């Protein structure tokens, strides 16, 4: 398993360091929803998402610029009180739209993220 992680994070094979933000929702003292983002640094391999991978996205998201990410970090497409993670890479912000955790047998998450308008 470590050999695969070595390949994913190898700079000669496209490995890089990036940041991602996890957004959580809380309720303030006035009963209003507030969102806070905590940023983390991770290693991984980020590439343009090929057409085959983009087919898994909803129609509206398919037309956006997207990236494919392999990382030991457990990225999330959002659930319950969390919104989808944001990935900061190459001066752009991407929203994770699909995350497949392969942590148990391969030690990484495969994710697709789409470009967020700025």
Q: pLDDT of 19-43, one tens digit each?
A: 999 988 888 888 898 888 999 999 9
Alpha carbons 30 and 49: distance in angstroms, whole number: 42
DSSP 12: G
Alpha carbons 50 and 73: distance in angstroms, whole number: 21
pTM: 0.84
pLDDT band at 62 (very low <50, low <70, confident <90, very high): low
DSSP 11: G
At 107 the three-state DSSP class reads coil
Tokens of 112: 């697709």
């Amino acid at each position: 398993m470590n050999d695969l992680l070595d390949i994913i994070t190898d700079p000669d094979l496209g490995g890089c360091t990036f940041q991602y933000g996890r957004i959580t929702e809380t309720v303030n003292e006035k009963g209003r929803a507030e969102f806070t983002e905590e940023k983390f640094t991770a290693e991984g391999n980020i590439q343009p998402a090929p057409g085959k991978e983009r087919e898994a996205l909803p129609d509206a998201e398919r037309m956006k610029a997207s990236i494919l990410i392999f990382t030991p970090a457990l990225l999330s497409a959002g659930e319950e009180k969390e919104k989808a993670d944001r990935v900061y890479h190459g001066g752009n912000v991407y929203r994770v739209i699909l995350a497949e955790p392969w942590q148990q047998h391969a030690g990484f998450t495969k994710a697709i993220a789409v470009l967020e308008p700025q």
